Amino acid sequence: MIALSYHDRTKHNFGRFARSLGYLDWATQPDPFRRYQGAPLIELPRSTPAGDVAYAALFDGSVPPAPVDLDSIGEFLRCSMGLSAWKQYASSRWALRVNPSSGNLHPTEAYVVHGAGVFHYAPREHALEQRCVLAGDVWEQVVDAPQQAFLVGLTSIHWREAWKYGERAFRYCQHDVGHALGAMRLAAAMLGWRFILLPDWDSANVARLLGIDRDEDYRDAEREAGDCLAIVGPDVSASLAPESATLAAVAGESSWLGEANRLSRAHVEWEVIDEVAEASKSTGHERAVALSHPRTLAPGTSAPSHPHTLAPHPVSSPRARSVILSRRSAVEFDGRSSLPRHVFLSILQRLRPGNPPWDAIGWSPHVHLVLFVHRVEGLVPGVYAFLRDDRTRADWRASMREEFLWEPIAADDSDEARGLFLLVPVDAGPTAMRLSCDQAIAADGFFSLAMVARLEESLLERGESFYPRLFWECGLIGQVLYLEAEAAGARGTGIGCFYDDPVHELLGLTGHRWQSLYHFSMGVPVEDTRLTAEPGYPWEVPADATP
């Protein structure tokens, strides 16, 4: 199986990292912004129709639906794929985005299909590039409620990640697709919409619809891989989506505009990425398993002088837009602050299926967590298991070390601690740091964790196209953790560098049945005071700000 072979080949181990160039070739650093030269550019409105939505409402389906128009589509894209800030150090200046990315390299591109055409989202300009004028009135013919629904496509430029990370980059690209899916699902929730992946759309039809299979538009430019397509709107479902072959065929015969820009002047080829990307393409016929849960419709730094405990969640929820746009990846934690127990338990419950963003995907949980708890008030430091599906307990317990305690952790006055078990009480900081490529950020926060997925069995049951989807699920988990950290007054960071098999050895896992795919950490950040920051877009500078 190509996916399993790739997975083993790209593992980090104590004596060997996955194959990469070994240094950063700054002369070939990819341009972070794809543009289609010659395509008409449509500026998106700068209004904020969802500015007053409470953060908690993203998860309970209580937001009244907004109409689908250019204002709301602009808000959806701004709060999922747009720029969150510009950072500068000395003469170097770079953009941050709302959706996280490994190394801030952003391989994920977004497209919108609606009405008369296919559009590429240009985040630097916050605008749509019209790539295609669809022939005739095909949109009205193939989409139910055509004015109140649109399609979103996500693609990956693997070179953007491979430039830095080499062969392991395919993993990170799939993490980023998951982050983007989470960002989009929650931006849709902010507008009272649903966001649902369309499993019947195979990779070939996604590529044809989005125009990324057109050789004449890419000449010397880096190619994109078609990852997925979703339908978005107030009351949409997968059954209301257009039939893939019909719409893709019309797009293929329609008029296309623009030519992709070249991102790097030279490249290093990583054949193993091409191989796994080809093997894991969707056929549109993956065997689906029904959801088993209800779905809602709707460098110079200064550390703090004293450690502190985060305050409980306020009675009034922070604004969703503020939390979304303030999300950042921490680079260092203070190593002393603690998290209240009830906040920690509340964060974990956001990761259980039932509400957004978990209603965006068509499979039950395949990824569960091993937590290294360092500083959570009322919890013994140690290694814990958190099961996102209670039915996994017997399997995990049988697969792991016999000496683990599996002591259930109950909440004081409710069942919100469901799925949390103490495995071993221990100072887990040194272990977490060692396993995460000796990065202190895994030990200096409140907690860190490993996302462990049911791998081999999933691929045998559903096909190799499910390999990327396991990483998407990890990215969705990471996106929720990022936002929960911001809402709690803390910060999170995804950790893609970890020693794979040593994680499994610690837990007693053998074979390919369960594999760690992604790590994460959360704590109080230490800010780098040498950096200056500007808003993502100049029109968002407060009116009273000094130049």
**DSSP assignments along 255-300, one per residue:** EE--EEPP--SS----HHHHHHHHHT---S-PPP---SS-------
Helix, coil or strand: residue 54: strand
Please state the rounded mean pLDDT for residues 156-163. 97
For strand 92-97 and strand 407-408, is the pairing parallel, antiparallel, or unpaired? unpaired
Helix, coil or strand: residue 521: strand
pLDDT at residue 116, rounded to an integer: 80
Q: Which is more confidently placed, 387 or 243? A: 387
| Residue spans of alpha helices (H) in 259-319 | 271-279
pLDDT at residue 542, rounded to an integer: 60
Per the CB < 8 A criterion, the answer to whether 82 and 97 are in contact is yes
Instruction: Tell me the C-alpha distance between 206 and 154, whole Å.
Output: 9
Chain segment 304-342, per-residue pLDDT in tens? 444 555 544 444 579 999 999 999 999 999 999 999 999
pLDDT at residue 246, rounded to an integer: 85
Is the model's pLDDT at 461 over the cut of 70? yes
pLDDT at residue 309, rounded to an integer: 54
Please state the rounded mean pLDDT for residues 240-260. 87
Residue 503: pLDDT band with limits 50, 70, 90? very high
Instruction: Tell me the C-alpha distance between 528 and 299, whole Å.
Output: 6
* Residue 310 Cα distances to 55, 316, 337, angstroms: 18, 16, 8
Of the candidates 179, 43, 168, the residue with the CA atom closest to the CA atom of residue 98: 179
- Average pLDDT, whole number, for the chain? 90
Q: Pull the structure tokens for residue 304.
A: 């703090």
Give 194's strand partners: 233
Please state the rounded mean pLDDT for residues 287-293. 39
Is the model's pLDDT at 303 over the cut of 70? no
pLDDT at residue 166, rounded to an integer: 97
Residue 299: pLDDT band with limits 50, 70, 90? very low
Instruction: Tell me the C-alpha distance between 253 and 469, whole Å.
Output: 30
Least confident stretch, 132-146, 191-205, 255-269, 321-335: 132-146
Please state the rounded mean pLDDT for residues 408-429. 83
- In this prediction, what percent of the chain has a pLDDT beyond 90? 81
Instruction: Tell me the C-alpha distance between 311 and 308, whole Å.
Output: 9
* Ordered structural domains, the chain, with CATH: 2-31+41-279 (3.40.109.10), 320-523 (3.40.109.10)
Is the model's pLDDT at 401 over the cut of 70? yes
Please state the rounded mean pLDDT for residues 466-476. 98
pTM: 0.93
Instruction: Tell me the C-alpha distance between 306 and 435, whole Å.
Output: 28
**HEC readout, 168-181:** HHHHHHHHHHHHHH
pLDDT at residue 115, rounded to an integer: 84
Least confident stretch, 229-238, 329-338, 405-414, 451-460: 405-414
Please state the rounded mean pLDDT for residues 500-527. 97
Helix, coil or strand: residue 70: helix
Q: Which is more confidently placed, 312 or 247? A: 247
pLDDT at residue 304, rounded to an integer: 41
pLDDT at residue 35, rounded to an integer: 98
- CB-based burial, 201-229: b 16+ in 10 Å, e otherwise: bbbbbbbbbbbbbbeebbeebbbbbbbbb
Is the model's pLDDT at 21 over the cut of 50? yes
Is the model's pLDDT at 218 over the cut of 70? yes
pLDDT at residue 412, rounded to an integer: 63
pLDDT at residue 214, rounded to an integer: 96
Chain length of the chain: 547
- Provide the 8-state DSSP code for 388: S
Is the model's pLDDT at 545 over the cut of 90? no
Residue 302: pLDDT band with limits 50, 70, 90? very low
pLDDT at residue 85, rounded to an integer: 95
Please state the rounded mean pLDDT for residues 270-280. 97
Per the CB < 8 A criterion, the answer to whether 151 and 231 are in contact is yes
Of the candidates 31, 196, 38, 268, the residue with the CA atom closest to the CA atom of residue 132: 38
For the chain, give percent helix, strand, coil, nearest 5. Answer: 35, 25, 45
